[in-house]
Amino acid sequence: MHRYATCFVLLATLSVPALARAGEADDLQRIIEDSRQTANDLERLDERKAAAMELTFLRTWLDRAWNLRSQEKYDDVRVVTDRCRAQADMIREKITASKLGAQADQKEAEVARARATLERTKKQLENAKEQKIRLEARS
């Protein structure tokens, strides 16, 4: 009986790293798939196409991570997925900056229209004052 227990412990010890590697591969696959979905979401958010090049880089890096995962180079996959995460954060910030820039441009256009209206109103007021003075001079 003692011999069977020893064999069981030995087999269990040898199979644990294989199970851990399989679990790690599944985790990395999930991370890569989540990152791909994030890239799709970011592309939909990027209405102004401000981060098109960065999204291309992100997709390329995700493909690279998938290839490394297939080659069981898990440490390299983690490095690439960390880079992808940072790239996604940068893309989010670039999209936000683009949207805020568009809002600022819109506000500047509104201010320019308001200033033009103000100038027209001032000119009309000045013309009205001159006309009033002319009419008073006739009387």
| pTM (global) more than 0.75 | no
> Which residue segment(s) compose the domain that 95 sits in?
2-138
pLDDT the model gives residue 23:
83
Distance of CA 88 to the CA centre of its chain: 5
pLDDT at 21 (0 to 100): 54
| Mean pLDDT in consecutive groups of 10 residues from the start of the chain, 139 residues | 57 50 85 97 95 96 96 96 97 96 96 96 95 88
Number of domains within the chain: 1
Distance CA 87, CA 60 (A): 11
Question: CA–CA separation, 82 vs 35, rounded Å?
Answer: 10
Q: What is the Cα–Cα distance from 37 to 20, expressed in whole angstroms?
A: 26
pLDDT of residue 20: 46
Q: 46-49 long-range CB contacts below 8 Å, 24 or more apart?
A: 46/91, 46/95, 46/98, 48/95, 48/98, 48/99, 48/102
